[in-house]
Structures are given as structure tokens and as C-alpha cells.
Amino acid sequence: MASDERPAPQAAGAEWPSPGYAWYIVFVLMVAYTLSYIDRTIVDLLVGPIKADLGLTDTEFSLLRGLAFAVFYTLLGIPLGRLADQRHRGRLIAAGIALWSIATALCGAARSFPQLFAARMAVGVGEAALTPAAYSMIADSFPPERRGRAFGIYASGIYVGIGLAIIIGGLVVQAVSAQPSVNLPLLGEVRAWQAAFLVVGLPGLAVAAWILTIREPIRRVQPGDAHSPTFRAAIAFLGANRGLFLAHFTGFALLTLLFNAITAWIPAYLTRVHGYAPGQIALSYGPTLLVFGSAGIFCGGWFADWLRKHGRADAEIRAGIVGALCLWPFAATATLMPDAPLFFVMLAPLVFFASFPFAPAAAALQLVTPNRLRGQVSAVYLFVVNLTGIGLGGTITALLTDRLFGSDDAVGYSMALVGVVAAPLAALVLRTGLPYFRRGVGAT
């Protein structure tokens, strides 16, 4: 984009968008976020077929699922976050959606492990463009006392996306289970798991076009702010507030790690331990994620707004602590249940409270960060939590299964062990950040 096309900075007192249009922006961004999670997590339901065709261990598959995606997703998030602070955010998001959609479809054309690994990396590159820009757009569309709910609706795309990925992927695999390969135009014969990638990838191009219809929200830049701050300025800001951001990033990274350590392996757990077929997983686990994850993340944002309305200057971090503590008993015991019905009884609150902290986490970040730095600071936050959560969460579970327990059937014990440690540690770390956050809110 030419320099004269950069959105001009606006005064902090500019009029907010109408509530109806602000919620429309959130809805469109939520659809994009849903799509991103469908495309990144469809692989979780395809563990068995991919391992069988490519001859992988659990640990090797976890690297394909996590590291291949996370490295570029996290590294490129920072320069793309700077672009979100400088350029037209809607166009940046649309370009990212187009890239990750094509890359997801290319996963379905992969014929070898290196090809699939490369396509997964490209998915990460495209998805890195979305959330820093979306956070910035939402923060410029809502006053602080309404942002928790707005971020909750946006972030519900995580659970709608994962739920739909499980449902779509499971039904696709079930439908073609009697014929493990199908013939497709141009591509010829492909495996069932390859067809699943094609089904979920290509519709994203329509969503990319839809994003371009959104009007760019006014940037609420304070008088005297530089329009194009450097990454050095963002690092200086983080360093000057290191107590706040160390607690925030570390606490929510632990919760992201726990979320990925469990959700990445539940389809394999249901297959190995309870004998579920892909279609059964699709119609049980998928709706549970969709309903209870979406409810949890919205309720977490609502709870943070409620605390702020009642005078809590540390509302968002306190909401994260509540979510972590309520999550702990369910994360530590759900995958140890002796039968599937009891597991699903425990899974509903596990998913609810696993999602509860993440809308407050996003709202907290925007509240204490100057507008001109939101894209870059959000990108650093996403770098930390996603490299930890996506890059390591699933792999930690796999390593415990392979190396500590030594049996594929012990994956439930591995997930429980991660839950025992990560949830209370996250609550403790976030607790140390409360005084820093209160001071940070007063400084912006």
C-alpha cells in the first residue's frame, strides 16, 4: 500500500461507531476467527489416518500439528502486528485469510510428510495476520466498559471453529471410511484425510472478500503519539512495564498450554480409550466444544465487564484467576474417568472454564497498551502464548505418553498430569500481576 493510503490517526475523543455497526465488525471478525480455527485444528481429528499413511509417532505428529504451524504463526505475528498499527487492518486480514485458506487446501494435496509440513507452515503465516489487527479494530470500536463482551464474542470463534472442525472432519472421515481414498477433479485419487482439508480450506476465499466490506474504524490515537512507532518503541514499552506483562504473558501462556495439551489429544483419547469412531467424536466432542467453549469465553468477558462496572481496577486479571482456579479440578480428573459418559459430564465444565480466561486476557492487553502500539504488543503476546501453547502444549502431552507412560492408551494420564500442574501455577502467576495491572490501567 502506498504511504498516502495509510489510515490517518484520529483524536482519542472521536465518536464511537454505532453499537449496531460495532457488533457487525465483531461478528465478521468472529467468522474469520472461526474459519482460522477450523483450518488449523482439522488435523486433530485426523491423527490416526495421517499417522498410518506417513508412519509417524505421537511425538512426530505433534510436531506436524504444533511446531509446523506455530513457528511462522508466532514469528511473523510481530511484523504483521506492526503493519496492523500502520496500515489498513481489513485489507491485511483479508490477505491473510486468502493465504491460509489456499494453504489449508494444499494440505489436502500433500503426498508426503515434508509437503504437509510446508503447507501447515503456510497456514501459520496467513493466520498470523488476523488477531493483532482484529484486537486493534475491536478496541477502536468499543469503549473500555464494553470490550470484555466484544472480545468474548470475537474469541468464541476459537470454540465454534474447533467444534465445527471436529464435526466436519469427523463426518467426512466417517463418510469415506469404507473407501479410504476418493477421486477428485484435477487432483485425482486422494486419501480421506486429504479430502477433509480440501472441504474446509477453499470456502475461506469468500470470507476474505467479505472482510473487505468492513469500514476501517477510527484509530483513537492520543495527541502527540507517533503514527508509525517502531518495534523498538514497543519493546521499550514492554520493558518499562515488565512486571505487568511478565505476569500477564506467562499466566495466560500456561492456560493456553493446558488448553492445547488437552484439546489436541481428546479425539485420540476417545478413540484409544473409549473406542469412539470418527463420527461419534464428531457428534459428541464437537458440539461440546462449540456450545460450552463459546459460552465460557463470552461469560469470562461478561464477568470482567461486571467486575469493572463494580469498581475493580484489576477486573480482567481477576477474571483470569477465577477461570484458572475453577478449571483446575476438571482438568486434573476428566480424562481419568472410567467410562465415556462420566468423561463427557466432566468435559463440559472443563471446556467452559478452559475458555473463560481468554476474553479477559485480550481486553486487559488493550486496556493497558497505547493505541499506537496495540498491534505490536498484541503480536508479542500472541508470540508467547501460541509458541508455548500451540508449539509445546500438544507435544508435552505426546512426550509424557511416549516417554513417561510408554503406551498410547495412557494419553488420558498425560493430559491429567498437565492439568494438575498448569492451572494452579497460572492462577499464582496472574495473582502476582494484580498490583502491576492496577497501576498500568491508571497510566493509560
Q: What is the DSSP string of 413-433?
A: HHHHHHHHHHHHHHHHHHHHT
Which grid coordinates belong to 31?
467468522
pLDDT by 10-residue block (mean), the chain, 444 residues: 43 72 93 88 75 74 75 81 84 94 86 83 90 88 85 86 78 65 70 78 91 87 55 87 94 93 87 87 87 92 91 92 96 93 95 93 89 84 82 85 89 94 96 91 64
Pairing of strands 188-191, 181-184: antiparallel
Widest CA span in the chain: 66
Domain range for 193: 16-216+229-443
Predicted pLDDT at 175? 65
What CA–CA distance (Å, rounded) separates 251 from 418?
A: 15
What pTM, to 2 d.p., does this model score? 0.76
Q: What angle do CA 434, 386, 166 make, to 5 degrees?
A: 115
The 3-class secondary structure across 42-107, one letter per residue, is HHHHHHHHHHHHHCCCHHHHHHHHHHHHHHHHHHCHHHHHHHHHHCCHHHHHHHHHHHHHHHHHHH
Tell me the one-letter amino acid at 47. V
Predicted pLDDT at 187? 66
**Block residue for cell numbers 504511504:** 3
What CA–CA distance (Å, rounded) separates 412 from 424?
A: 19
Predicted pLDDT at 8? 45
- Contacts within 8 Å (CB) and 24+ apart, 50-53: 50/116, 50/193, 53/191, 53/193
List the CATH number of the domain containing 418.
1.20.1250.20
Residue 437 lies inside a defined structural domain of this protein: yes
Which stretch of DSSP H or E encloses residue 293?
none
Residue 10 lies inside a defined structural domain of this protein: no
Considering its fold, how many domains does the chain have in total? 1
Predicted pLDDT at 173? 64
Predicted pLDDT at 180? 66
Predicted pLDDT at 435? 93
Q: What is the DSSP string of 328-344?
A: HHHHHHGGG-SSHHHHH
What CA–CA distance (Å, rounded) separates 82 from 226?
A: 13
Residue 5 lies inside a defined structural domain of this protein: no
What CA–CA distance (Å, rounded) separates 151 from 407?
A: 40
Q: What is the DSSP string of 354-410?
A: HHTTHHHHHHHHHHHS-GGGHHHHHHHHHHHHHHHIIIIIHHHHHHIIIIII--GGG
Residue 222 lies inside a defined structural domain of this protein: no
Residue 8 lies inside a defined structural domain of this protein: no
